[in-house]
Amino acid sequence: MKIVLDATVLIRAHNRSKALARRLLHEILDRHHRLVLSNEMISEAVRVLRYPEFQAFYGLTESDLLEYTQFLQSVSDVVILDPQYRAPFLRDPNDADVVQTAERGEADICAPTTRTFTRMLRCCHSVPRAASRYARRKPL
């Protein structure tokens, strides 16, 4: 199955994270599903992880960020996006990269929101329902 995860999930799934997003990422890979990403989505996640508040919390070095970028690129099908793409009917135009990545990568599942992410967690048999409720309330 081909799965797209939004940058907010990728941010929570970095190498030093113990968040459920990291567990979900590994569940997807361990079950031999394919992660579908774009360089734009990976860049966005790394850009946010460089913010001072994330640096203060996680202490990720440039080497850590490069390693995470290379990891994501190595385990995913990276699609090339069209900069002229316009997705109709999107509430948030920033989701256009996610939608286009899903379309170009012919993804079966696209998780652009925390609610969808939480539903995906419930689908992983090894993640208890109580943990998925916690993920919904946990701030980024």
CATH label, 2-137, candidates 3.90.550, 2.10.25, 3.40.50, 3.40.640: 3.40.50
Asked whether the beta carbons of 112 and 99 are under 8 A apart, the reply is yes
pLDDT of residue 70: 97
As a whole number, mean pLDDT of residues 78-107 equals: 85
List residues bridging with 5 in a β-sheet. Answer: 111
pTM, whole model, 2 decimals?
0.77
DSSP codes of every residue in the chain = -EEEE-HHHHHHTSTT--SHHHHHHHHHHHTT-EEEEEHHHHHHHHHHHTSHHHHHHH---HHHHHHHHHHHHHHEEEEPPPTT---TT-SSGGGHHHHHHHHHTT-SEEE-SHHHHHHHHHHSTTS-HHHHHHHHHS--
- Mean pLDDT to the nearest integer, 82-110: 83
**Which residue has 């309330």 as its token pair?**
137
Whole-number pLDDT of residue 112? 58
One-letter amino acid at 99 equals V
Rg of the chain, C-alpha, whole Å: 15
Specify the higher pLDDT residue, 45 or 125.
45
Given this model, what pLDDT does residue 115 score?
54
Q: Are 76 and 53 in contact (CB under 8 A)?
A: no
pLDDT, greater one: 75 or 126: 75
CA distance 40 to 116: 21
When mean pLDDT is compared over 12-26, 35-49, 86-100, 122-136, the highest value belongs to 35-49
Q: How many CB atoms lie within 10 A of CB 25?
A: 23
pLDDT score of 113: 56
